A and B are shown apart, each in its own frame.
Chain A
């Protein structure tokens, strides 16, 4: 019977949600979301273009590709995603890969005045016995854009990423953002 009570509460929740005017301010929100995301794309591309070469220089490497794309953040299946962000990804083929490369990139960020985030804390989960050298990541923030670098103990490259925060889009715009494509190419500094 406890589940029946839960069902009743959740149903009421859904009814209230529907009654609370989900379309309130939809018109304004549409323009705001579009504007915000398009600005975000400009910002992310600018930060990527500014920082990727110096990150590559820090590890004596070259950026082998750099491509931008929109992506959804939180699913609202089956309607796609509730929010979206713009991101640029790339790879640096480095002469100093691995943990040393990671440290060199982080040092270059500090030199450039970026706010470097502390490494993510280890999970507090029980039964945790990680033995493999998985990806090592560090992140920083530059003008609202999250910058990240990932290194591997057994790979001669680093992966780099630049992405903006998730921006909620109005329900009526979800389809558009799911399908949104950029002109070709998006961002290609080098090839």
Chain B
């Protein structure tokens, strides 16, 4: 089985951060006030806001899936490839747990 470099562990954290940032962006869009528009436009703005909250949440979920996928790959590697040396394993080990 191919060796997994420690950068993969760091990228899993980066994907977690992307998830958080995109979740924040989704919240920012859904919380944005539409009260400034005239009634004619307000309805369309609300519909747009709802749709984009969905798109951004999906992107956030996809980012989280990437993080989870990398963690799964790292866990598999640690569990199955016993030939890897201790140092390589110790570099990956801290990343298999999700921090946030």
Direct contact between A and B judged by beta carbons closer than 8 A? no
Residues of A within 8 A of B (CB): none
